[in-house]
Structure formats: C-alpha cells, structure tokens
C-alpha cells in the first residue's frame, strides 16, 4: 500500500478525471461525495488511502461547492493519513481578484491559496492561471501547466495561410507572442478599455492584419464580450477568416450565443471545465488536456522532472 498512486475526483468534472485515469492506466478511486439533507457537503473515502500518493482532480469554477468539495476531500484524506496530497486543479477559480487594484476589495486568489494549504494540500498542479504570479501565493510546490502544448498543434493543423495570432487584450499578449513564435507567424493585439468587471470596449488594434487570417488566443473566455469585440474589429480591418482558441471556456450568461452570432467561424476550447449544453453552438469544438495532466501526475509520482511540460 505504501506510496501507491491513487486518483480521486469530486462532482465538478468527472469526465476529465475519467480521461486522465484512462491515460494513466489507473482506475479512479472510490469516494462518496454527496450532500446531507440540508445541502451540506459530505465526503467519505470508500477505500484505504493510508500512506498513498493521492491526487484529487477537481476544477473550481462556480458554484463555490466545487471548491468546497475539494477542500473537504483534502481534509478527509489528511485525516485518513494519505502520505502526500496533490490537488490537480485544471481550472483555478477565484483567480481574477489577484491584487488590490482599488479600495475595499479582497484578494480571493490568495484566500483560496491559504484555504487549499490549510486543508492539507502538499502540492498543486494547475493549468493556465489567469495570472501567473498566483503561484507565489503558495508556500508549497506549484506546477503550472500550459495548454499551449495541445492548442499550438491544433492551430498548426488548421493550415491557415497568412496567419496572424491576435491577443484580445494586453493580458494575453505574451501568450499570442509565444504562439506566433512557435508557429512562425505574426501577431497583433487589441487594446481595450474596461468599464467594469465583465464589460469592456475594444478601441484600438495594434498590428497589420489586412488580408490576413486571424486566430484569436486567450486563456479564459467568460461572457465572450472581449472575444466577440475583437472579432468585430478584425473584420473591420480586413481580416479574411477569424477563428479562436482558449484554455478555459466559462462562457457564462449568453456567452455561447454571442460567439455563435459573431464573426468567429470556429471556436476551440480545452476540456478543463465541464461540458455545457452546446447543441445549437455549431462553431464549438474541444480538445482534451487529459494526456498532459496524466503525464504530470505520473512524473510527480515517480519523482521525475516535469519542466518539459511547461511550454
């Protein structure tokens, strides 16, 4: 039993956990994550985990139950004497408030980091944080994976001529530049003014895009406003074909419809978040990052370097 690799998941995204399990060749462990009659979360591991190398796979998008399920599973694992507990968080929620940019606001990313550590996490594996500096909020090892390994291969497979990678804001400029360098194409950026949270206005395009084909790249798409606004200004500036890729497709409210009705002709996202009902969203496709997470878990368990995955 000692040092045995075991993986478990909560209710947030069991489909991704199953894919990771299949890549690893390790079956998902048996844990009961349910509710008491008043809605309070209950957790019980249904098998012996003493001395094990435990990996808990759980993205933490809203509602907050997803985060609290992860915290509760970690507390149960710690009290059941797991040797090491690694929280595998494909989408790290509550990351957008990562600093005090105005008075009387919280730093929720730091709050979540503290909760995860206190609950029993010995290590964190996450993908495409909204702000890379969040790693510094932890005093435990943090492995930050990048979806670029799979998304760049997808972009290459599209074989789009005269391609330009486009960042919808300054926050994704580094990502667009990295993609452009590895693909061997140019890049551009939309400069926008944000009136308030979830509302922005695209105002300037930096870069030459006329007569080109554009691939918009972002780490996270929430309401879809920035992505749609970027596509609109690209079309105005003479772009021929517009596609988009992102890691985390939250697409809250009517985000799906916005993109469906936009100038974007194809939209690809990773499977870091649970699937939504997208039967009418004909432009949408997904690519799995299960293989990346499985390899990171395997190397972590075997005490091997995973730096080659940080690309």
- Is 191 in contact with 206 (CB distance < 8 Å)? yes
Are β-strands 41-45 and 31-35 bridged in parallel, bridged antiparallel, or unpaired?
Answer: antiparallel
3-state SS, residue 17: helix
Residue 192 annotated to the active site: yes
The residues pairing with 165 across neighbouring beta strands, listed in sequence order, are 187, 215
Catalytic site residue from 100, 156, 174, 192: 192
> Is the bond preceding residue 63 a cis peptide, omega within 30 degrees?
yes
Name 62's Cβ contacts closer than 8 Å, sequence gap at least 6.
93
Take residue 63 and report the two structure tokens written for it.
Answer: 């509602």
Name 273's Cβ contacts closer than 8 Å, sequence gap at least 6.
13, 59, 61, 90, 91, 248, 249, 250
Strand boundaries in the chain, DSSP class E? 5-9, 31-35, 41-45, 53-57, 84-89, 123-127, 142-145, 163-167, 186-196, 199-206, 213-221, 242-249, 266-270, 284-287
Catalytic residues: 192
């Amino acid at each position: 039993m000692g040092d045995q690799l075991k993986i478990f998941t909560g209710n947030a995204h069991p489909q991704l956990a199953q894919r990771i399990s299949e890549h690893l060749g390790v079956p998902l462990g048996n844990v009961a994550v349910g509710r008491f009659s008043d809605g309070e979360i209950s957790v019980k591991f249904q098998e012996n985990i003493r001395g094990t190398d435990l990996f808990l796979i759980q993205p933490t998008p809203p509602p907050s139950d997803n985060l609290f399920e992860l915290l509760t599973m970690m507390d149960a694992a710690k009290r059941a004497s797991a040797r090491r507990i690694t929280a595998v968080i494909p989408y790290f929620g509550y990351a957008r408030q990562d600093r005090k940019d105005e008075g009387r606001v919280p730093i929720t990313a730091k709050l979540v980091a503290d909760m995860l550590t206190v609950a029993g996490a010995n290590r964190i594996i996450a993908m495409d944080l909204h702000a890379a500096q969040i790693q510094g909020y932890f005093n435990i090892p943090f492995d930050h994976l990048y979806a670029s390994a799979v998304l760049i291969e997808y972009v290459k497979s599209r074989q789009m001529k005269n391609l330009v990678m486009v960042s919808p804001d300054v926050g994704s400029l580094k990502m667009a530049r990295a993609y452009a360098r590895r693909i061997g194409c140019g890049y551009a950026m939309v400069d926008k003014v944000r009136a308030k949270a979830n509302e922005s206005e695209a105002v300037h395009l930096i870069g030459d895009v006329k007569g080109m084909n554009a691939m918009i790249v972002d780490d996270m798409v929430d309401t879809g406003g920035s992505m749609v606004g970027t596509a609109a200004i690209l079309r105005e500036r003479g772009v021929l074909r517009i596609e988009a890729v992102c890691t985390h497709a939250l697409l809250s409210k009517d985000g799906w419809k916005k993109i469906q009705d936009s100038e974007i002709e194809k939209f690809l996202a990773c499977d870091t978040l649970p699937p939504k009902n997208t039967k009418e969203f004909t432009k949408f496709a997904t690519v799995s990052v299960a293989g990346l997470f499985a390899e990171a878990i395997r190397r972590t368990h075997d005490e091997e370097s995973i730096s080659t995955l940080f690309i």
